[in-house]
Amino acid sequence: MNTRVLLVDDEVAIRRQLRESLAQSGFEVTESGDALGALRLIERGAIEGRHFGVVVTDMVLPDIEGLKLLSIIKSRYPDLKVVLVTSGQAGEETLEEVQRARGDGFIAQPFSADDLVSMLSKLDLGTALAPSLVSSYIFVTVAGDAEPMEVYQTLAKEDGVVYCDAVRGGEYQILLLVHGATHEEIDTRVSDLVRRIPGIDGCETVHVRQPYIADEIRPFIHDYNREHEEDPSFHRAPNRATAYLRLDVPPGELVGLFSRLYFLDEVVEIDASVEGDQLVLLLQATDFEHIRRVVNQGIRLMEGIQRIREFKVIPFQS
């Protein structure tokens, strides 16, 4: 099978027993004695390109309960399979809790290693091993003799483009948010765009990621997202003033600033550069005057921000 399994249990004897049986069935097994260690292993595996296919975790852990760990994992890696190991008293109520938290299964103690192998073999683990999409912002400069609208309309139709916005406020005329399998693959596509599409004078690419947030803050971000999921103002919407901010920050200040900016009402999206020295924000409000006040009276005064570049989105559709 060669599927990577992460076992999370604070009892060494249980982990050892399950590890041996899973390894004999062809699984590649890694162990963790607590939830925080499991999160670090999951993130490290993603960074190294060695994704786990399934996490098998006990419901009772010394630091974070199993259901909360399930929610945290799914908030960042929704395709990663998670199986909960429950006590012998588990019943329909436990099953409903696991399903509400988007768990992929649960198995009640006592159980044999063969029972666990049988359950994992029934899961569709192939999709969980696929690399997660990465994101990049592309800042496009249009040649002086080209028609910006034609370039904009062409770029908006390219594969992988999430947002394509005509902007004003600097040397760039078009801003793209694109998804791809890897940042290297995005670099190749950007080079192809410059070569293939007439009128593009140049591009600057900012590869972004979600920064590592302290475990004490991450549950608040997750719950905040869930609480506001149905709020229209929480998502990008047409007919609202829209602007991007590109913030230069010292690497040591990035995580703290990310957490502060994340909860601003006007911030629809926020990403951190892979290098850790920039934040890219998407803001929306009723008008640009509102955005100006937020920037000048709030964001600009935050300690640690070295430079702010603002790009106002020109309100028209392709």
Give the chain's domains with CATH numbers: 4-129 (3.40.50.2300), 134-208 (3.30.70.920), 210-313 (3.30.70.920)
- The Cα–Cα gap between 57 and 86 comes to 9
- The Cα–Cα gap between 35 and 192 comes to 43
- The Cα–Cα gap between 110 and 87 comes to 8
Nearest to 155 by CA among 173, 141, 174: 174
- Per-residue model confidence (pLDDT) at position 318: 42
For residue range 78-128, what is the model confidence (pLDDT) as tens digits?
889 999 988 655 556 667 778 787 888 888 877 777 788 888 888 876 544
Mean pLDDT over 10-22 rounds to 84
**45: how many CB neighbours lie within 10 A of its CB?**
16
Q: In the structure encoding, which two tokens stand for residue 252, read together?
A: 């040591």
- The Cα–Cα gap between 26 and 286 comes to 56
Q: In the structure encoding, which two tokens stand for residue 179, read together?
A: 């998804």
Place of tokens 């800042």: 139
- Per-residue model confidence (pLDDT) at position 129: 39
Q: Is the pTM of this model over 0.85?
A: no
